[in-house]
Amino acid sequence: MNNAGPAKAGHYVRSVPGAGYLLVILLGVFSIFGEGFATLPNILNIGVQSSVLLLLALPMTLIIMTEGLDLSMGAVLSLAGVVLATLLMNGHSLTAAIAAAAGVGLAFGIANGLFVVTLGLPPFVATLGTLGIAQGVALVLTGGQSVVGIGDALPALYESRPLGVPFSMAFAAVAFLAFGFVVRHTRLGSYVSALGGNREALVLAGVHANLVHIGTYAAGGLMAGLAALLLTGRISSGHPTAAIGLEFDAIAAVIVGGTSFERGDGTLGGTLIGVLTIGVLKNGLNVMSVSSSLQVASIGVLVIAALVIDRAVAALGRPVGSRA
Amino acid sequence: MKAVAYRLMAVALIAFGLALTTEAFFTLPNILNVLRQASLTFLIASGLTLTILTGGLDLSVGANVGLSACLAATVMKSSGSIALGAATGLAFGALVGIVNGLMVTALKLPPFIATYGMLWTLNGVTYWFMGGETIHGFSPGFRALGSGHWFGVPVPIYVMAAFLGAGGIFTRYTTLGHGVYAIGANREAARLSGIPVRARLNLVYTLSGAMAGLAAIVYLARLNSAEADIGEALTLPAIAAVLIGGTSLFGGVGSLTGTLVGALTLTLVVNGMNLWAVDANWQPLVTGVIVILAVWIDVATRQRAEARV
């Protein structure tokens, strides 16, 4: 980096994702104006609400780093939830039901990977297709109805507090650490960012680039399957459209967290901040009794704003040291 | 043109199969119904086709139809004026298109993510605006636009034919239209040959929005009611129609005629499922499979063509 001046300025601005500042501002605004926002139960509530989103946003970060996208996650999560609830309703063990949900998610993830990587289909249309398929299967399995009467095992697990932490937060924390370990301490992490930025070099270095690439989509499906555990636990039932649109929140969190669609750079820490920003925004608007529909709209605006800011900051100086 | 001919043969084959297996298919009311339904899908997909021809995409068309229809319905009800309501729907649809265009050209955002953000923004605003209400019961004069007949043929078919004609002339015989293809085929070459790329892209996204606004009005007239979820299930079929019609996601290749054939194919499949009494819950699954197959064919054709060069 020989153009030291602008590079340095760019570095300092970029080293904290824009969402970091935004999160602080939102926390301040809601603490002042939102009655009951800055209370321990509510803060804990934000953590619990953000857990499912984090599970989707972690693999979404990797997928977006490869210049891809997975629009099917919400529908796959809904389908996995339906499968989980149906098996529990029919008296199968919790372990078997979780394995089946994870398996369904993984299968969709691998299918997405094969479509995008092996067949070379554009990710946003291929995963829009699998969105339709997953949603269709969930609707056909349930006839459009909720699956209730799932027994006590899953709700009990969901209500448990390992080490005093709500189960969903503990689960999300473990997932975050696992993804962080893989990205930071194994070669897979650098392979994934190379997929977006410099695929050719990866292939020349003898890495099975396609396998790593398919792996990112497989991870997305698997995490959507596992997220069904938390969602189904929370609502104590399975519903074929329970998580429709949640992939948008995940994409929003990743983009707000500073991962770029075009440069193959991004960090899981940034995504965590992005997830919390979305969580705080939704919760804060809720506390201030803004309708949930406008919360959706506000996230749409937030995404576009984040993209615009990303452009502006990128123009300020070449991105430096912003990768995990 | 050969490609469109093959696709028409496929449509004929599906129709033949349906005529053989169901009694209700080959009746005038059902055929007209299929054509009317295909016309509506075509109206939404036509603007989308133009954006895809430039190598872009407009994922917000379905949500745009939703909010434009709800706004048109509200204005129509409160003012009692059909013209004012229709103008509102059209203007709002076009406005969304203008914003999409600016996001793509001025802010240089990737079209799929810019219009995806727009999709959810519009969805949220629609639900907030409607607040769970349904607006229904419009004047017979307005409803004729969606469910009326003229010389025995449903009115939407005339609307479709008019726009197919206008769109065909635009894409095939005007410099503006040729520019759309040129940008999709090779943006840099188009720029160097003097085509104002940004102005053309702005035009295309505005047209896509305006067509969504128009489709919203015809939809409203057909359904005779507006609810917040009116546009929700429209995006995937619209994209499917464009892709089945042979318009390439990579830009520069395709036609509005193709999109009409695509809309017809999709409508026939759905009609066939209805006639065979297949549960409507299967529809997203079938549409999803069709989308993936259509993109796969697109990609494979392109790879084969590149291998030949």
Mind telling me how many Å the CA of B183 is from chain A's nearest CA?
19
Interface subset of A 94-153, CB within 8 angstroms of B = 115, 119-122, 124-126, 128-137, 139-140, 143-144
- Report the alpha-carbon distance of residue A324 to residue A169 in Å, rounded: 23
β-sheet bridge partners, residue B136: B225
For the segment A273-277, the average pLDDT, to the nearest whole number, is: 93
Q: CB atoms < 10 A from the CB of A317, how many?
A: 20
Whether A289 has its CB under 8 Å from any CB of chain B: the answer is no
Cα–Cα separations (whole angstroms), residue B177 to B184, B201, B262: 11, 11, 21
What is the count of structural domains for chain B?
1
Average pLDDT for residues B159-178, to the nearest whole number?
90
Handedness of CA A152, A155, A158, A160 (dihedral sign): negative
Helix ranges (DSSP H) in chain B? 2-21, 28-53, 61-79, 82-105, 111-130, 140-147, 155-173, 175-185, 187-192, 197-223, 235-244, 256-275, 283-308
Cβ within 8 Å of residue B291, ≥6 positions away: A125, A128, A129, A132, B236, B239, B240, B243
- The reply to whether residue B116 touches residue A248, judged by beta carbons under 8 angstroms, is yes
Q: Considering chain B, what percentage of its residues have pLDDT values greater than 90?
A: 56
Question: Of A71, A304, A308, A309, which to mutate for an interface test with B (greatest number of B Cβ within 10 Å)?
Answer: A304
Q: What is the DSSP letter of B228?
A: G
CB contact under 8 A, A125 and B107: no
Instruction: Dihedral sign for Cα B114, B115, B121, B124, please.
Output: negative
- Considering the entire predicted model, what is its pTM? 0.88
Q: Cα separation of B87 and B297, whole Å?
A: 40
Average pLDDT over residues A120-146: 93
Which pLDDT band holds residue A193 (cuts at 50, 70, 90)?
confident
Give the tens place of pLDDT for each residue, A293-309: 888 888 888 888 888 87
pLDDT in tens, B95-152: 999 999 999 999 888 898 899 999 999 999 999 999 889 998 888 889 988 888 888 8
| Residue B31 near chain A (CB below 8 Å) | no
User: CB A126 to CB B292 under 8 A?
Assistant: yes
* Shortest CA gap A49–chain B (Å): 19
Distance CA B74, CA B89 (A): 10
Q: Average the pLDDT over B13-28 and give the result.
A: 88
A261:B303 CB<8 A: no
pLDDT of residue A322: 46
Question: In chain A, where does DSSP find H-type helix?
Answer: 4-15, 18-33, 40-65, 73-89, 94-113, 123-142, 153-159, 167-185, 187-197, 199-204, 209-235, 246-256, 268-287, 292-316
Q: Where are the domains of chain A?
A: 49-243
**How confident is the model at residue A5, as a pLDDT?**
42
Confidence of residue A1 (pLDDT cuts 50, 70, 90): very low
Q: What is the pLDDT of residue A7?
A: 43
Given a cut of 60, is residue B1 above it in pLDDT? no
Neighboring chain A residues of B296 at a CB cutoff of 8 Å: 115, 119, 121
Looking at residue A303, its pLDDT comes to 85
Range of the domain at B234: 2-308
| Averaged pLDDT, A37-65 | 92
State whether B121 and A297 contact (CB < 8 Å).
yes
**Residue-level pLDDT at B307:** 79
- CA A239/CA A246 separation, integer angstroms: 14
Residue B124 with chain A: CB contacts under 8 Å: 293-300
CB-CB neighbours of B184 under 10 Å: 25
Q: How far is B301 from chain A (nearest CA, A)?
A: 12
What is the distance between the alpha carbons of residues B64 and B190, in angstroms, rounded to a whole number? Answer: 30
Enumerate the residues of chain B whose CB falls inside 8 A of the CB of residue A69: 112-113
Q: What is the pLDDT, as a whole number, of residue A9? A: 46
Q: What is the pLDDT of residue A6?
A: 44
What pLDDT does B241 receive? 93
Q: Using alpha carbons only, how large is chain A's radius of gyration in Å?
A: 20
Q: What average pLDDT score do residues A125-141 get?
A: 94
Residue A62 banded pLDDT, cuts 50, 70, 90: very high
Burial bucket for residue A3 (CB in 10 Å: 0-12, 13-18, 19+): exposed
Chain A residue with Cα closest to B291: A129
Residue A12 has pLDDT above 60, yes or no: no
Each residue of B217-228: b (16+ CB within 10 Å) or e?
bbbbbbbbebbb
Q: What number is the average pLDDT over the span B83-88?
A: 95
Best mean pLDDT range from A52-56, B174-178, B253-257: A52-56
For chains A and B, CB pairs below 8 A equal 144
Mean pLDDT (whole number) for B204-231: 93
Q: What is the ipTM of this complex?
A: 0.85
DSSP per residue, A7-49: HHHHHHHHHS-HHHHHHHHHHHHHHHHSTT-SSHHHHHHHHHH
Taking residues A170-184, report their average pLDDT.
Answer: 94
Is any Cβ of chain B less than 8 angstroms from the Cβ of A261?
Answer: yes
- For A149, counting Cβ atoms within 10 Å of its Cβ (0-12 exposed, 13-18 middle, 19+ buried), the class is exposed
B218 CB contacts (<8 Å, ≥6 apart)?
B39, B40, B43, B145, B146, B156, B159
The CA distance from A151 to the nearest CA of chain B, in Å, is 27
Q: Which contiguous run of DSSP H or E holds residue B233?
A: none
Indicate the range of A217-231, A304-318, B192-206, B243-257 predicted with least confidence: A304-318
Contact B292 A245 (CB under 8 A): no
Residue of B nearest to A119 (CA): B296
Average pLDDT value for chain A: 86
pLDDT one-digit tens code per residue, A213-251: 999 999 999 999 999 999 999 988 999 989 988 999 999
- Taken in order A99, A105, A109, A111, is the CA torsion positive or negative? positive
Q: Which residues of A touch B289 (CB under 8 A)?
A: 129, 132-133
Residue written as token pair 């819950």: B281
Q: What is the CATH number of the domain that holds B40?
A: 1.10.3470
**In 3D, which of B49, B60, B58 has the Cα closest to residue B180?**
B49
| Chain-chain contact of B239 with A125 (C-beta, under 8 angstroms) | yes
Report the alpha-carbon angle A48-A233-B117, nearest 5.
Answer: 55
Is a pLDDT exceeding 70 seen at residue B244?
yes
Q: What's residue A324's pLDDT?
A: 38
- Secondary element (H or E) of residue B131: none
- Asked if the Cβ–Cβ distance from A140 to B281 is below 8 Å, we say yes
- The pLDDT value given to residue A123: 92
Q: Do A297 and B125 touch (CB under 8 A)?
A: yes
**Rounded distance between C-alpha atoms, residue B7 and residue B243, angstroms:** 12
